[in-house]
Amino acid sequence: MEFKFNFEPVMKSDFINVNRSSIYKSDKKYGFESFRFRVDLPNKNYDVKIVFKNLEVDVAKANVMVFPRRIMLKDLKIKYGEVLQEEFTVNVKDERIVFEIETDGAEVCSIEVKEAQKPIVIYLAGDSTVCDQENLPYAGWGQAFGCFFKKGVSISNHAYSGRSSKSFIEEGRLEQILQTIKEGDYLFIQFGHNDQKDDKRYTVANTTYKIMLKVYIDEARKRGAVPVLVTPVARRHFDENGKIAGSGLHFDYPKAMRELAEEENVFLIDLLQMSSQLYEKLGVEESKKLFVYAKPGEYPQFPEGVEDNTHFNMYGAYEIARLVVEGIKKVDLKLREYLR
8 Å CB contact between 324 and 141: yes
Rounded to whole angstroms, what are the CA distances from 307 to 41, 161, 250, 319?
39, 18, 19, 19
Bridging pattern class, strands 70-79 and 59-66:
antiparallel
Number of residues that this document lists for the chain: 340
**Which one of the listed residues 128, 154, 276, 287 is annotated catalytic?**
128
- DSSP string of 144-206? HHGGGB-TTEEEEE---TT--HHHHHHTTHHHHHHTT--TT-EEEE---TTTTSSSTT---II
194's torsion region: left (phi>0), alpha (psi -120 to 50) or beta? alpha
Residue 13 annotated as catalytic: no
CA distance to 5, 138, 317, per residue, from 97 (Å): 13, 20, 21
140, 78 in Cβ contact below 8 A? no
Task: Please check whether residue 90 is in contact with residue 125, taking contact to mean a CB–CB distance below 8 angstroms.
Answer: no
The catalytically annotated residue of 275, 287, 311, 319 is: 311
Alpha-carbon span 239 to 248, nearest angstrom: 10
Residue from 175, 307, 326, 337 carrying the catalytic annotation:
307
Residues 6+ positions from 137 with CB-CB distance below 8 Å: 292, 294, 299, 313, 314
Residue 214 main-chain phi, psi, to 5 deg: -65, -30
**Residue 275 among the catalytic residues:** no
Residue 262 to residues 187, 210, 229, Cα–Cα distance (Å):
17, 12, 11
Question: In whole angstroms, what is the distance from residue 224 CA to residue 111 CA?
Answer: 34
First to last CA, the chain: 26
Answer yes or no: 110 catalytic.
no
Return the active site residues: 128, 307, 311
